[in-house]
Structure 1
Amino acid sequence: MTINKLFSGAAVATLLGLGTLSTTSCQKEFIDLNDPTRIPTTESYTDSLSILNGVTAAYSSMQDLYGRSGGSRGMFIFGEIPSDNSYTVTSGERLNEFNDFSLFSDNPNIQNHWLFTYRAIARCNIILSRAGGVKLTDATRNRYYAEVRFLRALTYFNAVRIWGAVPLVTQEIQAIPDAYQYGRAPITEVYAQIEKDLDFAEKNLPVTYTGTTNLGRATKGAATALFGKVLLTQNKYQAAADKLLPLVTGTTYALQATYANIFATSNEMNSEIIFAARYTKGTLGLGSAFTTWFMPAYTTAQSTSLLGAAYTGQQFNTVDPDLIAAFTASGPTDVRAATSYVLPAGAATSLGYYTKKYIDTPTSATDAENDWIVLRHADVLLMYAEAVNEATGPSAAALTAINQVIRRSRGLPVGTANATVDLPSTTTADVLRTRLELERRLELNFEGHRWFDLVRTGRAIPVMNAFFARNNSTVRITANNLLFPIPVQEINTNPILTQNDGYK
């Protein structure tokens, strides 16, 4: 191997942690940047402040993973665009390859997401490697460890769902040749490490934090919810039900009374939100781009009517008519529809509908306030109902959980039984399974869940091929399309990496 090739892989640098860690301080919350100070990861961590800054830098990686201008396009290109919820108009970004399953391994979005994935993991590993040498109380040290282990688990969970087997790096890599020892670990090993990280996080994270300055930090509930989703994804149904039950019966999290309030920028980190990638608009480069990324190419007047100012939509993630048809079929009383899609006055349907979940008035085209919600209570209720149904059948507990979500979708009090909309006690396992698939689609649309839900339940191939047939498309998917390609740049740099079947 030539010395030029040895240094050619950007991912190797991220494995080593040779990027920079952003330091942050807070007005709105702890991830706000107050200055452009950077701490090179090669510096020693000698005090509690440097460790805290390193932990905060690990949180900032979530912005790159869930979408930031200048970073990756985010998780929506994996969780929504390949599904029947969304399509992209833009071809210059090569997002269309996700839309019609024509991906090539040199797609820059795949490469960017791989790089930011391993940058996030490297930042977590650095803290886990170095915090032991810094004077901290055991409780503080373990909390920092728990925070970054939660973040590492979340990052690996996304990675294993995107690529399947991936390099499993759990320690800081300090020498470049060592980075080339990591091939693709079996999926079972990746999941075992995720569970191990979440077990530690769950035991050492607080239920809540004091003060608004810590809003957005991982909590015990976030670790539990993610753990439940990880178990459910592996078809460990009874274990998932047992894990999620304390969140279902507890009082730490609760459904918002009004669906639209979940997503209001004036109501961030509300009672329903368990974990989110946080953004702050302003002049600090920490705003979110979803507002204009997702908006179709409306006229100046149309975009102003939506956002309060004129911006050009980039059409990265447009509401598919199939999702609108699903809402129409669910009935006119489904209040979620008004928040899920909108067409401005005077806009032709050919321009495309726009999701209202990310509406804000940006300070610039890619600088809005909207957080990306990763886990929320409605998701937990639906996961719990699914886990119970698959483990033991449609019990009263499972029906109670899904009925709360259904009642809210009709604008009804969630805690009061309603014979008109509730699923009855005679509901069969098959009926509940089908209804859960629909409720997850309608409840969680444009939040990055649909494609992964279809893959997890074994429904991606029949659902998507039926979708393509309805739309007179010649596209059809096979098992090879259930994973995305490993970036060819990484394979060229590290020859022990292999490609997923069906990709060049």
Structure 2
Amino acid sequence: MMKKIICLLFLSLWACKMLDREPALQVGDAKAITDWQSANAALAGLYNQMQEVYNGRIQRLADVAGTTAQSIGSNSALRQIDTYTIDAENAVLLEIWTYIYRGVNIANNILARVPQIGLSEEQKNYLLGQTYFLRGLLFFDAVRIWGGVPNVIGESGIPLPQEPSRSVVLYERSSLQASYNQVEKDWAEAVKLLPEISPAGQANKNVAYALLSRFYLYFKNYPEVERYANAVIANPRYSLVFPYSDIFNNKNTKESIFEVQFDNTDTNTLSTFYLPSAMGGNGEIAAHIEFYNQIDRNDERARMFVRGSSGLWYSNKYTQKSGNAHLIRLAEVYLNRAEARTYQNNFAGARADLNAVRGRVNALADNTANSVEQLVAAIEKERRLELCYEGFEWFDLVRTGRALVVLSSVPRSNASPAQLRERHRLVFPIPAEEIKINPKMLQNQGY
């Protein structure tokens, strides 16, 4: 249904094909939004684009580029990511870029039109709050992929279109700092407008707080990380779920803060890529055996793997095409706060957060880490174990400045080790198709 809505609202400027070659930054017709019904239809269309972005595309990018997952099939785009040989023709990057900026286009239409039509303040706040949050999320992931991290890598950010237009607009890239500033601004607006409680799959204040606890890690603004994490952790609506498998076998559990919703009509591709053929997948993405072997067999997370006919292990987090994609859950917020507390020398508080996550999966408590270095290492290890195959590791490695060391030699099951040696590869190339149709779009250095 949501795919049909997109076609009806924006057919004048792009067809319902995945990759038409008009610029992804082209903006739709804002006049299509005239009342409550059409505004809701536009918001549904925006959520549809979120499905396209987070149905497995970003997860595959961040997982395969790390040390927990490897591409073992015939998918050349994933093989490039796995071996750090990615180029601007990569199909995964083109898909992510296209769907992110289509989402931004729809968001800009909503933000421009909703204040001008006859709606109640409650209706306007609902539409605008959701839209600011989602646009901020799209900008955030775009800048992490193509811009980099302040004081780590990158200078140029991403295009930041904010006004609708009925004609093709060729945007330039903003600075890296301006790009992150826009994310912060969008989420600040969202916090003002969003409700405390929302239906599953829609944003609310706590969803924004949780994402802000992630966002401020990128600036090492640890008091803000802790402030926003505190707000979420203290909320009785959220709690860590036991057993661990229930998080993935059920939708929208008490641990879930925000999930992109899928069903039998709007399906994800997570199970397709992450499961072996015997379970209905294509066996493309397997676990790195070294990673699997590091997991204590008493740890509940060791049970979230299934062995394929080739003898390789696969993640069992995604067993249904109708299952949701987890964008942020409470365990991450605990680990965000643990990191913030560590760098503020609150070692006891950091250990408590770390052990809350470990205790829920029957892992031994860590009561020995008693320095910044020891706690940071423990938290980094825990993030890798807890959040594997959810699209985190690459971004964590780049954010913390460890990528070139950790990824200097990554063993692979069916080929020689992958080696990340070139610093410019810490950011990904702008898709070649976008460069061709937009002469103002500068490519990242080295591509």
Query: Where does residue 166 of structure 1 map in the other structure?
Result: 158
1:113 aligns with 2:96: yes
Which AA in structure 2 matches 1:498? L
Aligned partners of 2:243, 2:60: CA distance in 1, in Å?
28
Aligned partners of 2:60, 2:246: CA distance in 1, in Å?
25
Aligned partners of 1:138, 1:447: CA distance in 2, in Å?
37
Residues 77 and 90, structure 2, Cα contact 8 Å, conserved in 1: yes
Aligned partners of 2:409, 2:91: CA distance in 1, in Å?
29
Aligned partners of 2:190, 2:368: CA distance in 1, in Å?
37
Query: Where does residue 374 of structure 2 map in the other structure?
Result: 431
Q: Specify whether residues 128 and 231 from structure 1 end up closer, same or farther in structure 2 by C-alpha distance, changes over 3 A only.
A: same
Residues 242 and 361, structure 2, Cα contact 8 Å, conserved in 1: no
Query: Where does residue 207 of structure 1 map in the other structure?
Result: 196
Secondary structure in 1 aligned to 2:410?
Answer: helix
Residues 78 and 162, structure 1, Cα contact 8 Å, conserved in 2: no
Query: Where does residue 221 of structure 1 map in the other structure?
Result: 206
Q: Specify whether residues 489 and 382 from structure 1 end up closer, same or farther in structure 2 by C-alpha distance, changes over 3 A only.
A: same
Which AA in structure 2 matches 1:438? K
Residues 275 and 318, structure 2, Cα contact 8 Å, conserved in 1: no
| Deviation at residue 443 of structure 1 after TM alignment | 0.5
| Deviation at residue 474 of structure 1 after TM alignment | 6.2
Which AA in structure 1 matches 2:419? V
Q: Specify whether residues 396 and 273 from structure 1 end up closer, same or farther in structure 2 by C-alpha distance, changes over 3 A only.
A: same
Q: Specify whether residues 78 and 474 from structure 1 end up closer, same or farther in structure 2 by C-alpha distance, changes over 3 A only.
A: closer
Q: Specify whether residues 243 and 16 from structure 1 end up closer, same or farther in structure 2 by C-alpha distance, changes over 3 A only.
A: same
| Deviation at residue 147 of structure 1 after TM alignment | 0.3
Aligned partners of 1:188, 1:42: CA distance in 2, in Å?
29
Q: Which runs of 4+ in 1 moved over 4 A?
A: 9-13, 468-472
Query: Where does residue 343 of structure 1 map in the other structure?
Result: 307
| Deviation at residue 234 of structure 1 after TM alignment | 2.2
Q: Which of 491, 495, 502 lines up with 2:439 in the alignment?
A: 495
Q: Which of 362, 373, 378 lines up with 1:410 in the alignment?
A: 362
Q: Which of 70, 75, 97 lines up with 2:58 in the alignment?
A: 75
Query: Where does residue 444 of structure 1 map in the other structure?
Result: 387
Residues 202 and 220, structure 1, Cα contact 8 Å, conserved in 2: yes
Query: Where does residue 38 of structure 1 map in the other structure?
Result: none
| Deviation at residue 370 of structure 1 after TM alignment | 1.1
| Deviation at residue 484 of structure 1 after TM alignment | 0.6
1:240 aligns with 2:225: yes
Aligned partners of 2:121, 2:85: CA distance in 1, in Å?
51
Q: Which of 291, 300, 319 lines up with 1:323 in the alignment?
A: 291
Structure 2 unaligned blocks of 5 or more: 1-13, 148-156
Q: What are the superposed Cα offsets for residues 17-69 of structure 1, whole Å, 9 maximum, x if unpaired?
A: 34xxxxxxxxxxxxxxxxxxxxxx465322111111111111111111012xx
Q: Which of 245, 248, 261 lines up with 1:278 in the alignment?
A: 261
| Deviation at residue 10 of structure 1 after TM alignment | 4.8
Aligned partners of 2:67, 2:412: CA distance in 1, in Å?
12
Q: What are the superposed Cα offsets for residues 339-391 of structure 1, whole Å, 9 maximum, x if unpaired?
A: 1x1115xx341xx212110013xxxxxxx21111000000000011101212x
Secondary structure in 2 aligned to 1:274?
Answer: strand
Q: Which of 336, 348, 356 lines up with 2:316 in the alignment?
A: 356
Q: What are the superposed Cα offsets for residues 314-340 of structure 1, whole Å, 9 maximum, x if unpaired?
A: 23322111220221xxx221111101x
Query: Where does residue 197 of structure 1 map in the other structure?
Result: 186
Q: Specify whether residues 14 and 205 from structure 1 end up closer, same or farther in structure 2 by C-alpha distance, changes over 3 A only.
A: same
Query: Where does residue 426 of structure 2 map in the other structure?
Result: 482
Aligned partners of 1:172, 1:459: CA distance in 2, in Å?
39
Please list, as runs of the form range in 1=range in 2, the aligned pairs for 1:237-316 lying within 5 A after superposition. Answer: 237-264=222-249, 267-281=250-264, 284=265, 286-297=266-277, 303=278, 306=279, 311=280, 313-316=281-284
Residues 369 and 375, structure 2, Cα contact 8 Å, conserved in 1: no
Aligned partners of 1:10, 1:137: CA distance in 2, in Å?
37
Which AA in structure 2 matches 1:60? N
Residues 77 and 98, structure 1, Cα contact 8 Å, conserved in 2: no
Query: Where does residue 457 of structure 1 map in the other structure?
Result: 400
TM-score (norm 1): 0.79
Which AA in structure 2 matches 1:427? N
Q: Specify whether residues 426 and 163 from structure 1 end up closer, same or farther in structure 2 by C-alpha distance, changes over 3 A only.
A: closer
Aligned partners of 1:11, 1:396: CA distance in 2, in Å?
54
| Deviation at residue 252 of structure 1 after TM alignment | 2.4
Secondary structure in 2 aligned to 1:467?
Answer: coil
Residues 15 and 173, structure 1, Cα contact 8 Å, conserved in 2: no
Residues 248 and 401, structure 1, Cα contact 8 Å, conserved in 2: no
Q: Specify whether residues 13 and 491 from structure 1 end up closer, same or farther in structure 2 by C-alpha distance, changes over 3 A only.
A: closer
Q: Specify whether residues 103 and 59 from structure 1 end up closer, same or farther in structure 2 by C-alpha distance, changes over 3 A only.
A: same
Aligned partners of 1:435, 1:426: CA distance in 2, in Å?
8
Aligned partners of 1:143, 1:337: CA distance in 2, in Å?
41
Which AA in structure 2 matches 1:195? E
Which AA in structure 2 matches 1:233? Y
Residues 125 and 193, structure 2, Cα contact 8 Å, conserved in 1: yes
Structure 1 unaligned blocks of 5 or more: 1-6, 19-40, 68-72, 298-302, 361-367, 412-420
Please list, as runs of the form range in 1=range in 2, the aligned pairs for 1:129-168 lying within 5 A after superposition. Answer: 129-164=112-147, 165-168=157-160
Q: What are the superposed Cα offsets for residues 47-105 of structure 1, whole Å, 9 maximum, x if unpaired?
A: 111111111111111111012xxxxx611232101111111123344210000011111
Q: Specify whether residues 487 and 348 from structure 1 end up closer, same or farther in structure 2 by C-alpha distance, changes over 3 A only.
A: closer
Q: What are the superposed Cα offsets for residues 419-439 of structure 1, whole Å, 9 maximum, x if unpaired?
A: xx3333762111110000110
Aligned partners of 2:398, 2:185: CA distance in 1, in Å?
24
Which AA in structure 2 matches 1:336? R
1:369 aligns with 2:322: yes
| Deviation at residue 395 of structure 1 after TM alignment | 3.1
| Deviation at residue 248 of structure 1 after TM alignment | 2.2
Aligned partners of 2:35, 2:118: CA distance in 1, in Å?
7
Aligned partners of 1:105, 1:426: CA distance in 2, in Å?
43
Secondary structure in 2 aligned to 1:374?
Answer: strand
Secondary structure in 1 aligned to 2:161?
Answer: coil
| Deviation at residue 394 of structure 1 after TM alignment | 3.7
Query: Where does residue 183 of structure 1 map in the other structure?
Result: 172
TM-score (norm 2): 0.89
